[in-house]
Amino acid sequence: MQPKVLAMAMAGIGLSLAAGTTQAQETFEWKLVTSWPKNFPGVGQGPERLAKLVEEMSDGRLQIEVFGAGQLVPGFEVFDAVSEGTAEIGHSASYYWKGKAPAAQFFAAVPFGMNAQEMNAWLHYGDGLELWNELYDDFGIDVMAAGASGVQMGGWYNKEINSVDDLDGLKMRMPGLGGEVMSRMGVAIVNMPGGEIFTSLQSGAIDATEWIGPYNDLAFGLHQAADYYYYPGWHEPTVMFEAIVNEEAMASLPADLQAILRTAVRDVNQDVLDEYTARNNDALQTLINEHDVELRRLPDDVLAEAKEISADVVAELAESSDMASKIYDSYRAFQDKVVNYHAISEQAYYNARNPDGDTTQ
């Protein structure tokens, strides 16, 4: 090779290496908006953990600033903010977007439906996550499961619930499909983000509310605004939280940063559920033993009517569009499979471990 040609070739290689180095060191600064108060235990800590993990795993190349509800956008505007590119990523629950995509409610909580373990299996080893992304395609959003609450509580009430009749006329905060069921049971449903619940319950603007479970309910101080704490959370056998990402922002990331983000979200998905499992019972004991909260089981007739109406509400949603039908067919088929197996595994084990409802075993 002639010296001049060699020099030009070496210069070209040098430019290529320099360009590669520049690309490898390119940094991205993202905004993450949530529907939760900043640093709120459990669900609010999930986005914080996500941001920290991503920064550590990417060696600082992808930095995410987390904004709580109301700091950048209101909690109920997270979906629009991500869709429009105001923020690159959001953390919320899909039933808040029922006005935009009614079928999104299937991915948050279905009354008397699948629990967290079952939902995670459907999303990641069925076609649930694929369908979820298909539903959000028209909004320019990529979605991943980003946490789960586990089975929630039935809610806080300022009056005793001894029968279905006692629900009539109550004003209650309850989102999603569960809220529609309660509405058909005579309850006036009020929608509001978590940060407004305590003052609304304390002032009498609402008579009852559900939030998540003892860990979060204690943090909000709901025991100071209502006397009766009911279970089980038939309306939300879990809530799956979501990480929603603007598709253009995701496409702008190099492949390795996309992989880092997805891996970190998957970690957070399990971590949030683990934290609720670890913290809920301690918080419940604090509510009962230190704050004299009256723990009550919802009456059988309330649960029976809720289950009957839930079947109608879910069926109507499934029939509302071709996409809703497609999602529900997949959801129901998967639930049927896991219920059959869990009858001889999880449920049979619980029955053997806790005979006659004995919780001391």
Count other C-beta atoms under 10 Å from residue 329's C-beta.
Answer: 12
Task: Determine whether the annotation assigns residue 210 to a binding site.
Answer: yes
Task: Determine whether the annotation assigns residue 285 to a binding site.
Answer: no
As a whole number of angstroms, the distance between CA 225 and CA 204 comes to: 9
Task: Determine whether the annotation assigns residue 234 to a binding site.
Answer: no
- Widest Cα–Cα separation across the chain: 96
Count other C-beta atoms under 10 Å from residue 2's C-beta.
Answer: 7
As a whole number of angstroms, the distance between CA 81 and CA 138 comes to: 15
Residue 255, Cβ density class (10 Å: 0-12 exposed, 13-18 middle, ≥19 buried):
exposed
Residue 162, Cβ density class (10 Å: 0-12 exposed, 13-18 middle, ≥19 buried):
exposed
Task: Determine whether the annotation assigns residue 156 to a binding site.
Answer: no
8 Å CB contact between 233 and 210: yes
Q: Which of 23, 8, 4, 9 is nearest to 252 (CA)?
A: 23
Task: Determine whether the annotation assigns residue 236 to a binding site.
Answer: yes
Count other C-beta atoms under 10 Å from residue 41's C-beta.
Answer: 18
As a whole number of angstroms, the distance between CA 43 and CA 275 comes to: 9
Annotated binding site: 152, 173, 210-211, 236
- Binding residues for Na(+) are 211
Residues marked as binding for substrate?
A: 152, 173, 210, 236
